[in-house]
Amino acid sequence: MKFSANLGFLWADRPLPDAIRAAHAAGFDAVECHWPYDTSPQDIKAALDETGLPMLGLNTSRGDLSAGENGLSALPGREEDARAAIDQAIRFAAAIGAQNIHVMAGFASGAEAHRTFVTNLRYACAQAAQLGLTILIEPLNRHDAPGYFLTTTDQARGLIEEIAALNLKLMFDCYHVQLMEGDLSHRLPDLMPIIGHIQFASVPDRGPPDRGELNYKHVFRVIQDLGYDKPLGAEYKQPGNADWALGWLHDAREM
């Protein structure tokens, strides 16, 4: 199996180009990030070229952090800001060779928020398609992100079916799905046709996948048996030093 280091959490204390190099040295097959916008895209691209690692994806801006925002695209009245964030993400992804853009919904609810998210996702898909990029949407759990608009895979599937864009896919984060829905062994095969990326972390502490209530040896085997061959995203909070928290990676290589 192949694995991607999510540099929003792993080696997050280092400049992003150095984190890319650390992920390469640790044996990851790819990298992904959250919000790389404070780093020069030229420096990121240089580190990616140096290591040969692909950058799988990045997120749209969260918005005004001082106001507690966590995405803009489902917020009625913020369409101009949401589209600016989408445009920014597409430009940055193109500059560094990233393949996917996670469009963050934000804290909202109701029919108007749904209509707003659909409209902004249609815009994102149309703009991204011109560059061959994929748009991802990700349900977040109610414990870590109370009030977030998108919370379940059923809701995400409904949006994907409504918008019907070939480049709109589900980001299936095992951590979030387990907390909200569980039953990963059945949800993964059911949703596989619309999955664009898979992430993982232990539940409930969001640590490495060798602890907690999920048996990731089983989950990884389910994913493998389904024929999914893209790198899986290690989006977990490192317990201190990531360099000594990678025993799971070596074990997974032997599956």
Enzyme catalytic residues: 138, 235
Judge if the upstream peptide bond of residue 193 is cis by omega within 30 degrees of 0. Answer: no
- Residue 24 and residue 51 in contact, taking contact as beta carbons nearer than 8 Å: yes
The residue assigned the tokens 């969260």 is 62
List the Cα angle 53/25/16 in 5-degree steps: 60
Calculate the CA 113 to chain-centre distance.
21
Query: How far is it, in rounded angstroms, from Cα 80 to Cα 176?
Result: 29
Q: Backbone dihedral region of 187: left (phi > 0), alpha (psi from -120 to 50 degrees) or beta?
A: alpha
Alpha helices in the chain, H assignment, sequence order? 16-26, 41-51, 79-96, 111-129, 153-163, 174-180, 184-191, 216-225, 247-253
Q: What are phi and psi of 50, to 5 degrees?
A: -65, -40
